[in-house]
A and B are shown apart, each in its own frame.
Chain A
């Protein structure tokens, strides 16, 4: 009689091997370089893809199961938040501008990250990194989607978010995050992985997501907070992948080290320049602060990042030189950034304001070296003028950096009274930069950056008006035409928070919820 033997269940490890590496095959009638055409041109040499150590053993079927469970939890919390008019529980209506900044500046990047990882995943000949990239690609589109869903509730009540993706592709300051990611996805797959997988996801992500999510938690925004928690386990996986990629590339060939070092230097700086938006959000936009930008930089970069680069020293990687420059800017960055948005508040999709007396005290206490000496005088002047009905609106377009596309608002390292100007002559034209680092990035690949879509120059070329606009008619108002092109309504989506429709509505609705009219 035959014995019935229970079918042996695959162990986790075997299951992973079968479902991942087991799906790969060696082509017999096509050449590898035809199937993976982008593997050589960046100069990275990989000798053995099998040396790739999978940083996490997750198979696709398990992936779907985990994610759908998280999704159910997220949406049930969101529903409860929405049904109980949770938006009226945020600290004060100024907080909503953080949400506007997030959905128009950051969420569209999640979508581009989805595309970038899909592209990189397609290009890697190793099945391990290919599957890891596939999962990250799916995570990123899920993040874009859940963020948009979480924020859509605010869009029902408040201004500036109604066409966030249209804005992302056009509005002058949104070209900063947009061009950052466009730069990454137009690079080769290895540079993309170092740029986004490592420099952004590993080195800088704590300075992006932690401030937004803890900012949400401190300010009663349960929607954004819940999204943040839902994404957390994905982020942990992304960080692991980012680190594995770097180590793998560095171990494969010593010739890879200088290339990777150049990318780390470039992308740490590029990412840091995008974080300018986070710095001002932390110090100025959150009614209830979590910590200052300077403290965040010290904890998340100088301490944690310092340890990381010590660890990478054995592969021949050194901490990017730009971090010395960043250390000099940490007392100034958020103040210069908020001043910029206060200047150009007529052309943004969110409101700005001057800090009140208590908030200025907080800024003095957090920035004893810089705030009272350099920034308080101009902010008090602005506040006094606004009180007199003479609120400052700068309506002349600024000079931009060719690489990061931020206006030249940053001061010389070590001298906060002088704007930092740098320039390069390339072929027939001059190009201008905010810093030595942005200049160096340009000089490494001028052919790429001469094509930059610089919002100010595009406006002057006449490319940022609605179709059919005639800029030669008498009384033509360029700002009004540009706002129409942005799909933003002058007087509603822009200008100061004081007197805005958001301010008025929030006060009225909260009043209905807390008082007997």
Chain B
């Protein structure tokens, strides 16, 4: 449905990829760990190696949580837009098929937050 307007209504979207200085947005959420109140938004270059997120970014973001140190990344389950998905840590974001404003989540089996409360 179109917006109701008195004349032609055509304005550019505010968050197209060209506005992020070479980066693209990637949203990342950690399932069962709601102590982090929401998924995160990151501006990453599409050439960034996926593995660099795991090694270089996530520890600074999630490291406060006692579960984080126990993550076995080989067992982590990944989802893209809610559907099962398998990233290749050696490949770049673009080569992994990640586009601007994609959302990915990971689940760490066996780790369910503070006292098992999904916190």
Contact = CB atoms under 8 A, between A and B. Distances in A.
Interface of A: 37-38, 41-43, 188, 191, 336, 339-340, 343-344, 373-375, 377-378, 381-382, 392, 394, 396-400, 407-409, 411, 416-419, 421, 423, 427-432, 443-448, 450-454, 456-457, 460-462
A462 B21 contact: yes
Contact of A460 (B25, B37, B113): B25
Contact of B36 (A394, A430, A452): A394
Interface of B: 1-6, 9-16, 19-21, 23, 25, 27, 29, 31-32, 34-43, 60-61, 64, 81-82, 99-103, 105, 113-115, 117-119
Given A408-B38, A452-B14, 18 more contacts: A41-B4, A41-B5, A42-B4, A339-B34, A377-B119, A378-B117, A378-B119, A381-B35, A381-B114, A382-B35, A392-B64, A396-B60, A398-B38, A398-B41, A419-B29, A432-B103, A453-B14, A461-B20
Contact of B16 (A409, A423, A429, A454): A429
Nearest to A191: B4
B71 to A, nearest CB: 17
A406 to B, nearest CB: 9
A431 B103 CA distance: 10
B100 A445 contact: no
A421 B103 contact: yes
Contacts of B82: 421
Contacts of B16: 428-429
Given A377-B114, A428-B16, A445-B1, A456 B41 contact: yes
Nearest to A447: B3
A206 to B, nearest CB: 28
A374 B14 contact: no
A408 B38 CA distance: 5
A423 B103 contact: yes
Nearest to A448: B3
A455 B19 CA distance: 14
B14 A450 contact: yes
A447 B38 contact: no
Contacts of B64: 392
B89 to A, nearest CB: 21
Contact of B1 (A407, A411, A443, A461): A443
B37 A399 contact: no
Contact of B117 (A42, A377, A428): A377
Contacts of A378: 34-35, 113-114, 117, 119
Contacts of B36: 343, 394
Contact of B15 (A419, A429, A445): A429
A37 B1 contact: no
Contacts of A443: 1
30 contacts: A37-B6, A38-B6, A42-B4, A336-B37, A339-B34, A339-B35, A375-B119, A377-B114, A377-B115, A377-B119, A382-B35, A398-B40, A399-B29, A399-B39, A409-B38, A416-B118, A419-B29, A423-B81, A427-B13, A429-B13, A429-B16, A446-B3, A447-B3, A447-B10, A450-B15, A451-B11, A454-B15, A460-B20, A460-B41, A461-B21
A85 B113 CA distance: 47
Given A374-B119, A377-B117, A460 B43 contact: yes
Contacts of B34: 339, 378, 411, 417, 419
B27 to A, nearest CB: 4
A462 to B, nearest CB: 7
Contacts of A418: 31
Residue of B38, B39, B61, B114 with most partner-chain A CB within 10 A? B38
Contact of A400 (B9, B12, B41, B99): B41
A461 B18 CA distance: 10
The 6 closest A-B pairs by CB, nearest first: A378-B119, A407-B38, A450-B13, A398-B38, A417-B118, A377-B117
B39 A451 contact: no
Given A396-B61, A450-B13, A340 B20 contact: no
Contacts of A447: 2-3, 9-11
A266 to B, nearest CB: 12
B51 to A, nearest CB: 19
A41 B40 contact: no
Contacts of A456: 41
Contacts of A423: 81, 103
A66 to B, nearest CB: 37
